[in-house]
Amino acid sequence: MRILLVEDDNLLGQAVRDQIVADGHSVDWAKSIEAARDYIRVSRFELILLDLMLPDGMGLDLLKSLRVAGDSIPVIILTARDRISDRIAGLNAGADDYLVKPFDLSELGARIGAVGRRYAGNPNPLVRLGDLMVDLAARSISRDGESVALTAREWALFEAFVQRPTMLLSKSQLEERLYSLDAEIESNTIEVYIGRLRKKIGHGMIETVRGMGYRLRQPTMPGSPA
């Protein structure tokens, strides 16, 4: 996923950003509401991690403005405000989850995955794709019990296909997945990584629609190991 982190604390922000990247997601980091609005205007995100107390205002106001505008992007609030009334206000304003500081980074990673799966339409972390078993929570793939290893960049693209089965994804949409992963985006970057993915998961899994993009050849279905 491409995630927008809205957090003004440098130490916490860096720790959260490093965890997100280690989990295979890309992240942009805004330290104020104004900076967050600038990012949202020019980029497409799949999740926002939102602090409530920011230098130029309340994160809750940003959340409310997104919902009023009809933006359904999932939002997880990260805040030191732990009163029940604060949690109720955040959830009623349209937040999808609420995590109180200090929190465990691995728990944050699990919540990010859970919210992302819900919005993708399948909360089940286990997905069967042909002869592959994909565990979205563990970010792992196996074929007949044997692990299929993907790099962080390969996983970022693969996850995009799994979360949108049968949907045609344009080259620019896939490039969005690689931004903030310190990946150099060149004219043939997506073609290179699609080629690598095909070698690992099967050449017939990803279809090229010339001039338009790529998609999975068959739908993914929830399942579990036999």
Look at residue 221 in the predicted model and tell me its pLDDT.
45
Alpha carbon distance 6, 68 (integer Å): 19
How does the average pLDDT of the chain come out, rounded? 86
The β-bridge relationship of strands 213-216 and 221-222 is unpaired
Looking at the predicted structure, is the pLDDT value of residue 30 above 90?
yes
User: Average pLDDT for residues 176-186, to the nearest whole number?
Assistant: 70
Residue 3 pLDDT greater than 80, yes or no: yes
Residue 113 DSSP SS3: helix
Is this prediction's pTM over 0.95? no
Which architecture characterizes domain 2-120 according to CATH? 3-Layer(aba) Sandwich (3.40)
β-partners of residue 51 are: 78
Q: What single-letter amino acid sits at 137?
A: A
- pLDDT, tens digit, 9 for 90 and up, residues 34-65: 999 999 998 889 899 999 999 999 999 999 99
Most confident of 29-38, 62-71, 203-212: 29-38
CATH class of 126-222: mainly alpha
Enumerate the domain spans of the chain: 2-120, 126-222
pLDDT value, residue 225? 42
For residue 160, what are its two tokens?
Answer: 């995009």
Please give, one letter per residue, the 3-state secondary structure of 172-219: HHHHHHHCCCCCCCCCCHHHHHHHHHHHHHCCCCEEEECCCEEEECCC
Q: What is residue 153's predicted lDDT score, i.e. its pLDDT?
A: 86
